[in-house]
Chains A and B, each alone.
Chain A
């Protein structure tokens, strides 16, 4: 594990947060030694509130006393601070494409999950439209990053375990092998990768959590 003299890295997180997972994966790939602090989101620690006063959310990475919030921003910081095992593409155009999809890829998925009827149909149409485009980014590659996992794989990695859970709960399969062969293969490759496989939250526990959240939202609307 890489730890330069006097370097202190702490990650404030929560077991089910896909945003926290992004940071965990990046730290693993970069072989960075860090301290993990599991937050109780119903009773946030003073330290968390001090480090992220604007949003009071996880993840927060604290590096030598300096706090960085927002998962994608933390990924860029990690890439720039620890030069080995690069996760970003070198080419500025490929970087721009990766940055674009990091946020766009998930668009509509949450909406699909928490709505019903016409609203859900519209969200699903948007999700399928995006996945069709995202599928093309995998042509000729094992990962979005090429041979190795990169920034975009990490950013959209939550899809690999989140979408199957959404599909199970809503009883609707989005990423089928026929419709999205490359995405389907990527999900398997990503979730079984050495940097990811031991970090995934227990599936039953996560599924139960999402089920409850969805029920609560839908009940509130009706």
Chain B
């Protein structure tokens, strides 16, 4: 299902939450695309398409590369305006709020995930780090109450920009809960977000690109062993 004259390629990898964000956006707009799956050794195309950061995802639309996951999501929203619902809110203040919390998420959550990933299961330091992540999510819980206004998602009735930003982190969060034996999605502490996470993962645009927890755990083990033997990139 490709729009006429539109060639869409996505440089990415299935475990990456940043890549997942783009795939969800493409799904919301019902766009077909070619997935160029990266391995641990970065492809020439990736290095050429993102010379500044050399990171995925990179969207290549009719030969033009776009980098940075949430910039790509916004690009998708602005380029395909008739297909599917709008990803960003229409009101400019709501857009600012969505962008603000997205930046907050990106400041805190990827780092927290990286810190937790190599920790020893059930260790004191893992519990302390998990508590910090829960505290971060409690701040976001408040934002969820305000943004959702009683509806199912941050974006209202349908998933939007901020849902995508946070929801894409759920695969790692669930994998870490299992791998490191910690609790993060605690109903008593973040009830709104726990319910929201279930709705998010079940959404049509998300289901097929959200990896299963067991698969993520297996991948994490491979990633940790690769990181242990490779110098920092």
A172 at the interface (CB under 8 A from B): no
CA gap between A69 and B100 in the complex, in Å = 7
B231 within 8 A of A: no
Interface residues of A (CB under 8 A from B): 54, 63, 66, 68-70, 73-74, 76-77, 80-81, 92-93, 95-97, 99-100, 103-104, 107, 129-130, 133
Report yes or no: A70 in contact with B100, Cβ–Cβ below 8 A.
yes
Q: Contact residues of B with A, CB < 8 Å?
A: 51-53, 61, 64, 66-68, 71-72, 74-75, 78-79, 92-93, 95-96, 99-100, 103-104, 139
Q: Once the chains are docked, how many angstroms separate the CA of A103 from the CA of B74? A: 16
Complex interface: chain A residues within 8 A of B74 (CB): 95-96, 99
Q: A68-B96, A68-B100 are in contact. List 16 more A-B contacts (CB 8 A).
A: A54-B104, A54-B139, A63-B93, A66-B93, A73-B96, A73-B99, A74-B96, A76-B96, A77-B92, A92-B78, A100-B52, A100-B67, A100-B71, A103-B68, A104-B52, A107-B52
The distance from the CB of B194 to the nearest CB of chain A, in whole angstroms, is 22
| A99 to B66 alpha-carbon distance, docked (Å) | 10
Which chain B residue has the least Cβ–Cβ distance from A101?
A: B52
What separation, in Å, do the CA atoms of A73 and B67 have in the docked complex?
18
Is the Cβ of B100 less than 8 Å from the Cβ of A73? Answer: yes
For the complex formed, measure the closest distance between the CB of A8 and the CB atoms of chain B, giving whole angstroms.
14
Closest to B90 in A: A80
For residue A54, which residue of chain B has the nearest CB?
A: B104
Q: Could you pull out 13 A-B pairs where Cβ atoms are within 8 angstroms?
A: A54-B104, A70-B99, A77-B92, A80-B92, A93-B64, A93-B66, A95-B74, A100-B66, A100-B67, A100-B68, A104-B52, A129-B52, A130-B52
| Minimum C-beta distance from B139 to chain A (A) | 7
Contacting pair A95 B95 (CB below 8 A): no
Chain B min CB distance to A119 (Å): 14
Cβ contacts under 8 Å, B68 to chain A: 99-100, 103
Residue of A nearest to B101 (CB): A54
With A54-B104, A70-B103, A76-B99 already in contact, the answer to whether A96 and B92 are too (CB < 8 A) is no
Q: Determine which of B75, B96, B104 lies in contact with A96 in the assembled complex, contact meaning CB atoms within 8 Å.
A: B75
Complexed CA–CA distance, A74 and B95 (Å): 10
Is the CB–CB distance between B103 and A92 below 8 Å? no
B61: which A residues are within 8 A, CB to CB?
93
With contact pairs A70-B99, A93-B75 given, residues A133 and B67 touching in the complex (Cβ less than 8 Å): no
